Structure 1
Amino acid sequence: MENSHQKNIFTNNLEDIIKALKNGKVVVFPTDTLYGILADAFNKKAVERVYKIKKRKPDKPYIILIKDISVLKKFNVYLSTEEKKLLQAKGITVILNLKNPTEFEYLHRGLNSLAFRIPKEGVIVNLLNKIPAVIAPSANPENLPPAKNIEEAFKYFKENIDLYFTGDKPKSEKPSTIVKIENGKPIILREGNISEKEIKDIIEHKKN
C-alpha cells in the first residue's frame, strides 16, 4: 500500500490527525459508523475541497459530527425535545432547521437545514473533544460503495487525501439512520443501524 513518498500520509497518531484538521487538511478517519472523509466544519475551503475529492453533487449537504449538544449553539439551529432525545441516542443523525439560512450556506447547500450526529463510541469521540464539529461523509467517490478499510480508501483517493488514520477501525458496517422531525413525528430519510421502531421508542419514552 505504501512506498517511500506515500508513507507520511498514513498515521496511527491521533494528534497528527487533530493537527491536520486544525490546519485545514482533509483526512480519512474511522467514525462511529463507517470510514469518513473528515474536514473541520467551520473551514469553508476544506469543506469545498471534500466535494471535489468525492466528486459529489454540490447541492447535497454533508452530515456533521459534533462533540455534544452545546456545539449546536454555534450553528444557530432550532432544537425540539424530540430532536434532542434522538441526538442523545446512539447512531442517529438528525436534520435540524437553521434559524438564519443565510448562515452556513457552504454547509446547507440551499436546503436551510443541517444534519447532525453525536458519536458515542470509537476514537472519533476523542477527536471531537479537540475539533468539536467535522463534516464526515463516507470514504468513497459519489455512486461507489463506502471503503471498508484504509486500503480501499487509499485506492479511491490516493494522495488527494492529506492523511489516513490507521490507529482504529469504524464501529459499524452500516451508516447511521437519518431522521427528520415534522409535527413531533419522526420521518426516516435513511434507515441504518437504528430501526424506525427504535426511533419511535426513543421519542415516546417517558420524559425524565
Structure 2
Amino acid sequence: MIGEINNALQILKEGGLILYPTDTVWGIGCDAANTEAVKKIYALKQRVDSKALICLVADDRMLKKYVKQIPEVALNILDITDKPTTIIYDDAQNLAPNLIAEDGTIAIRIPDDEFCFQLCRRLNGAIVSTSANISGYPTPNSFKEIQQEVLKGVDYVVNLHREKNCNKPSSIIKLSNNGVVKIIRE
C-alpha cells in the first residue's frame, strides 16, 4: 500500500487526477486546494461546476482547516454513525474556490479507509472525492464497471481493491450554523 500512496501522492502534488477506492465507491480525486485540478475533474465528469463535489479529510483536526465553525452536533454525528457520512458545512475555507458551493458550503467526509486516511495525511490536505463516472451515468459498483473514458481521463489509477464491490455512496447531511439539520441523502 505504501507504494500506491506514494504514486498517488506524487500525482496529486503535480495537480493531476487519480482514480482510487474509497470507503464507499471508486472516486476521482485531486488536491482540493488546486483550482486547476478541480477544473479537470469537472471537465472529465462533464459536469457543471455549480454542482458541488465532496472532499475527504483525515480527521477532525484536518476538518478544522477547511470549515470556519464546526457545529458541535457534527462531531456527535460522526461519533455515533455506523456508516459513511458526508456533512455539508457552512463557511468553507482554504479550498479551491471552484470547489466551494455558491452559498459558501462544502461537503466533507472523514473516511474509514486506511488508504484514504494515509493519502490525506501525507498530502496534509483534503482530497476531492467524486464518483468515478461521467455525469448522468450510474455510479459504478466495482472497478470493472468504470467507463473507459474515466480510466483514460485520469493521470493515475490506484492498484488496490480492484476486485471488491463497492458499498453505496455515503449519507449526506447538511448542518447549518443556525442549527438547521437537513438529510440530503440517506
- TM-score band, normalised by the shorter chain? 0.7 to 0.9
CA contact (8 A) 2:67 2:89 kept: no
Q: 2:35, 2:64 → 1: CA distance?
A: 18
Check if 1:38 corresponds to 2:35: no
Q: Which moved more, 1:119-128 or 1:27-36?
A: 119-128
Q: Aligned residues, how many?
A: 179
Quote the Cα distance in structure 1 between the aligned partners of 2:92 and 2:53.
18
| Alpha-carbon shift at residue 69 of structure 1 (Å) | 1.4
Deviation at 1:68, TM superposition (A): 1.1
Does the CA-based 8 Å contact 1:86-1:94 persist in structure 2?
no
Greater mean alpha carbon deviation, residues 121-130 or residues 77-86: 121-130
Query: Contact between 2:92 and 2:106, CA under 8 Å: does it hold in 1?
Result: no
Partner of 2:156: 163
The residue that corresponds to 1:205 in the other structure is none
Structure 1 or 2, whichever has the larger Rg, is 1
Bigger Cα displacement from structure 2, 67-76 vs 112-121: 67-76
**Which amino acid in the other structure matches residue 63 of structure 2?**
L
- Pick the aligned partner of 1:138 from 131, 144, 147: 131
Residue identity opposite 1:187 in structure 2: K
Q: In terms of mean alpha carbon deviation, does 61-70 or 105-114 score higher?
A: 105-114
Q: Output the CA distance in 1 between the equivalents of 2:95 and 2:153.
A: 28
CA contact (8 A) 2:8 2:158 kept: yes
Residue correspondence of structure 1 range 75-154 to structure 2 within 5 A: 75-88=66-79, 89=81, 90-98=83-91, 104-131=96-123, 132-154=125-147
Find the aligned partners of 2:122 and 2:17 in 1 and give their Cα distance. Answer: 16
Question: What SS does the corresponding residue of 1:135 show, helix, strand or coil?
Answer: strand
In angstroms, what is the RMSD of aligned CA positions? Answer: 2.3
Equivalent residue letter for 1:139: A
Structure 1: runs of 5+ lacking an equivalent = 1-11, 192-208
Distance 2:13 2:95 in 1: 21
Gaps in structure 2 of 5+ consecutive residues: none
The residue type equivalent to 1:126 in the other structure is: Q
Look up the match of 1:51: 42
**Which stretch shifts more, 125-134 or 27-36?**
125-134
Q: Deviation at 1:65?
A: 0.4
How far apart are the structure 1 equivalents of 2:92 and 2:30? 24
TM-score normalised by structure 1 residue count: 0.77
The equivalent residue for 1:206 is none
Other-structure match for 1:187: 182
Q: What is the Cα deviation at residue 99 of structure 1?
A: 6.5
